[in-house]
Amino acid sequence: MDTQELIDAVAAKTGSTKAQTAGTLDALIGIVTTAVTKGGTVQLIGFGSFSTGQRAARTGRNPATGAAIQIAAAKPVKFTAGKAFKDAVNGNAVHGPLLGARTARDARRDRAGHDLPRAQSERVHGERS
């Protein structure tokens, strides 16, 4: 899935326009990038966390010539998947979507459309009054 496909999918799921969704996605990426660049960690419970690591400078070898080369220190970006995300990928998800219900009761209520704003409930159930 590329960026445009992600924007299309989120816009369809939320009922917002593609322009609004693209703006929201750009803002999210910008905020995560800024936070991680400053050395912080961004945690999205159930999905995962973005952070930076530390890799020291070291000596490597040029595979073509065998000559020693210096490899500079680096701050690699790390993503650590959350438990719910790992479970979903491995087919072990028990309670619905990653960021949705956390209990079986909540999952049933979400599927039934309870406690949803009217517009969202109409999208879920196709009701019009």
Same domain, 74 and 106: no
Same domain, 89 and 113: no
> Residue 106 sits in which domain range?
95-129
* Closest by CA position to 90, among listed 81, 102, 80: 81
Q: What is the pLDDT of residue 94?
A: 58
Same domain, 102 and 89: no
Instruction: Return the CATH number at 66.
Output: 4.10.520.10
Q: What is the model's pTM?
A: 0.62
Q: What is the pLDDT of residue 72?
A: 95
Report d(CA 117, CA 64) in Å as an integer: 63
Same domain, 61 and 30: no
Report d(CA 98, CA 78) in Å as an integer: 20
Q: Crossing angle for the helix pair 3-14 and 18-37, nearest 10 degrees? A: 120
One digit per residue, pLDDT tens: the chain, 129 residues?
Answer: 999 999 999 999 999 999 999 999 999 999 999 999 999 999 999 899 999 999 999 999 999 999 999 999 999 999 999 988 888 888 876 555 555 545 555 666 666 655 555 555 555 556 554
Same domain, 27 and 58: no
Same domain, 89 and 102: no
For 90-108, the DSSP string reads: TT---SSSTTS-SSHHHHH
Total of domains in the chain: 3
Same domain, 99 and 89: no
The residues that bridge with 78 in the sheet, in sequence order, are: 51
The secondary element (H helix, E strand) that includes residue 23 is helix 18-37
Q: What is the pLDDT of residue 88?
A: 86
Same domain, 55 and 86: yes
Report d(CA 99, CA 127) in Å as an integer: 25
| Tokens 């993503």, residue located | 79
